[in-house]
Amino acid sequence: MNPSNCIASMFIRGQENNIIYNKIHNKMAYTKKRRSNQGGRKFNAKRTTGGRRRTRRNKSNKETIHPSKFIKKATITEQIEYKAENTFGDFDIALLLKKNIASKGFDAPSPIQDKAIPQGLKGNDVIGIANTGTGKTIAFALPVLTRLINNRESHVIIMAPTRELAQQILEELKFLVKGGNLYHALLIGGSSMHLQLKDLKRKPRIIVGTPGRIQDHIKRKSLDMRGFDTVVLDEVDRMLDMGFVKDMRSILGKLARKRQSFFFSATMEPKVRELINEFSNNPVMISVKTGDTSDNIEQNVVKYKSRDQKIEKLHEILNENRKNKILIFDATKRGVDRLSKDLVKRGFRADAIHGNKSQRQREKALARFKANQTNILVATDVAARGIDVPDITHVINYSSPQSYDDYVHRIGRAGRAGRVGYALTFVESRYGK
């Protein structure tokens, strides 16, 4: 064969092989790309859809609050001392309660106590509209406990939105009935179910808890509500906001038909009124609410333009207030943990509290805060509900609240007992000034 023809023939076969190879390679590449694109479209569609859903949900839940609503001068006016119509000694309550109240040095009741206790002792259903920290627990506890002491067949169930508030209520009740013989049970999440079942076997006449855990016990048939003829719902508006409406309706529907009810709330929104109207009987309404935010809280904003500037400005504020007791709100559990650890690294006595902490961890953090072992507590909204520490001077909104109601509830933790409190809200600004 002619060498040139041989080379030509090899060239042609090589070209044919290249064409075949390229066709196969291109087909494989196309198939791989198509699969990749299909998978990518499926994944991205899921992520995008999920993202859109989350965005819409967040937008629907979060109010747009103009920063000007976070600014208000404290109005320091001469406090007009409330002149109670009664003393605790005047109330027709059980002698044991009078003795324990007197041992604590209480004499004149607060406005909500002065007006609600007589109505409760008459057997009326009571609606109390009052700010946080006005003595609501004693306002319902004295009539309820008197009823239990005088009638051995009576049982009471008290519902609160958070574990902390439920525990706080029970502690006050235990003090008031000290020396008596009334069994109780605390039914809250994050606490041992075994111990709760053990307490329930003793047939307690006082049950304090959160709606979710109470409902769990009803479903397990470890709790029969038919003998409960007294019910207290504390912070009704908060329980509704937290999504407990179904549990609350279910529990209320299982109580004794003839009963006495106490409802306490900071607001009387339509949804609160609807629930109360459905489950009360000719209630007496008592309102001693003084306004949306306490007049003695100095409110202002802190502007920042970057994350680094934000933490540095917080550092400056905390450094200037090392002797004060400060509650800081952040939006997420992860954010709370990150911020509290950062503050500890910077030399501050800080602790964290949120829903992922065990009940024991939350109790210890709160106890350290109350005992001044720490002076800074970083918390989420849900965990902070029920925190009642009277000497908090500052509330810092490191993240913006979801709603103005949440803002009001947050800053109400400062400025208790007529003292001046301070509320600072961080607001992002292009200029950071």
Q: What is the pLDDT of residues 135-162, one digit of tens each?
A: 899 999 999 999 999 999 999 999 999 8
Q: What percent of the chain has pLDDT over 70?
A: 81
More confident site: 73 or 332 = 332
Burial class of residue 251 in the structure, from the number of CB atoms within 10 Å of its CB (0-12 exposed, 13-18 middle, 19+ buried): buried
List, in order, residues 6 or more apart from 333 with CB less than 8 Å away. Answer: 354, 355, 356, 380
Q: What is the pLDDT of residues 365-381, one digit of tens each?
A: 999 999 999 999 999 98
pLDDT digits (tens, 9 = 90+) for 166-176: 999 999 999 99
Q: Is residue 22 predicted with pLDDT exceeding 80?
A: no
Under DSSP, is residue 225 helix (H, G, I), strand (E, B) or coil? helix
Last residue of a domain, one of 240, 258, 287: 287
Shared-domain flag, residues 125 and 257: yes
pLDDT at 78: 54
Assign residue 212 the CATH number of its domain.
Answer: 3.40.50.300
User: Over the stretch 312-358, which tens digit does the pLDDT of each residue have?
Assistant: 999 999 999 999 999 999 999 999 999 999 999 999 999 999 988 88
> Of the residues 264, 287, 310, which one is the last residue of a structural domain?
287
Among 238, 220, 218, CA closest to 228? 218
Q: How far apart are CA 185 and CA 195, in angstroms?
A: 9
Whether 207 and 306 map to the same domain: the answer is no
Is there a domain that residue 297 lies in?
Answer: yes
Residue 112 domain flag: yes
pLDDT of residue 99: 95
Nearest to 136 by CA among 277, 286, 275: 286
